[in-house]
Structure 1
Amino acid sequence: MYSTLKMLHHYWAYLVLFMIVVATFNAVYKTMTKKEYEARDFRMSLFTLIVSHIHLLIGLVLWFAADYFSEMSMGEIMKNATMRSNVVEHPVAMILAVALITIGYSKHKKKLTSTNKLKSIAIFYSIALVLVLAKIPWKAWLNL
């Protein structure tokens, strides 16, 4: 079960990254060119929100199922750069990224004009994208 979830988490991440990139660049492009906000933009930002939340839930299940703390103390984990990245930095960064996506989505719904809606998505999703790109375990991604 754990290996299935781990594989799902790994491959679902490609979908999440793809959706964040597409939604971000769409919002940035439409903001810069002063295009109108459309139903397609709403669906795109909503789908990004949904897939990122699902991915976060899978990741949290994996984090709790891995039981890192029975094998090592927190001090030992923090001294080991790879373990620190996997156990602390990656989960915290991804939780923040999903929170930013959620905030951007919520804020954009409250705006009344196309420019403001798209700007909210562009800002928050861009910051989330930077966080995701910064904390993806690239060695694991390229080896699998």
Structure 2
Amino acid sequence: MYALLLTLHSLFRWVVLAGLLLGLGRAYRGWLGRRAFTRLDNTVRHTVATLAHVQLMLGYGLYFASPLVQAFHLRDTEHAPTALFFGFQHVATMTVAIVVLTIGSALAKRRTTSEEQFRTMALWFTAALLLILLAIPWPFSPFASRPYFRF
């Protein structure tokens, strides 16, 4: 189960990032280009939030199945920064990022003008993307290094 969750979580992050970049592209193009907020824009907004929630659920499943997290003790993190990253920082930052994205999606849905919808979506999704990029264990990350794809 752990290996399956790890593979799905690793691969699905690219789906989430691609969707989020698509959503941001449409949001900034619509906001700065003063376009109308269409059904497609609304579908992209909703789909990006849904993809992020699926990834978060995969991550929570992985979190509770992970032997690294099961062995995690806060008092030992001074000597094991990777344990601190996966035991606390990654899950906390990603949870906050998805909350930010969800709030932005909900607020954009409720705005009355296209400009407000695009602006809200652009700003909140950008904040979520920055948090997500910070918390991904990139191969070059000083916090915890993992390959681009885990199989």
TM (normalized to structure 1)?
0.92
The aligned residue for residue 147 of structure 2 is: 141
Q: How does 1:21-100 map to 2 (within 5 A)?
A: 21-68=21-68, 70-77=70-77, 79-100=79-100
Whole-angstrom distance in 2 between the partners of 1:95 and 1:78: 23
The aligned residue for residue 18 of structure 1 is: 18
Moved more, 134-143 or 108-117: 134-143
The aligned residue for residue 104 of structure 1 is: 104
Whole-angstrom distance in 2 between the partners of 1:134 and 1:73: 23
Do the aligned residues in 1 keep the contact of 2:31 with 2:115 (CA within 8 Å)?
yes
Whole-angstrom distance in 2 between the partners of 1:71 and 1:105: 36
Which protein has the bigger helix share? Answer: 1
Whole-angstrom distance in 2 between the partners of 1:72 and 1:95: 19
Unaligned runs of 5+ in 1: none
Unaligned runs of 5+ in 2: 140-145
Instruction: Report the Cα offset of residue 66 of structure 1.
Output: 1.6
Number of equivalences: 144
Identity rate, percent: 23
CA-atom RMSD in angstroms: 1.6
TM (normalized to structure 2)?
0.88
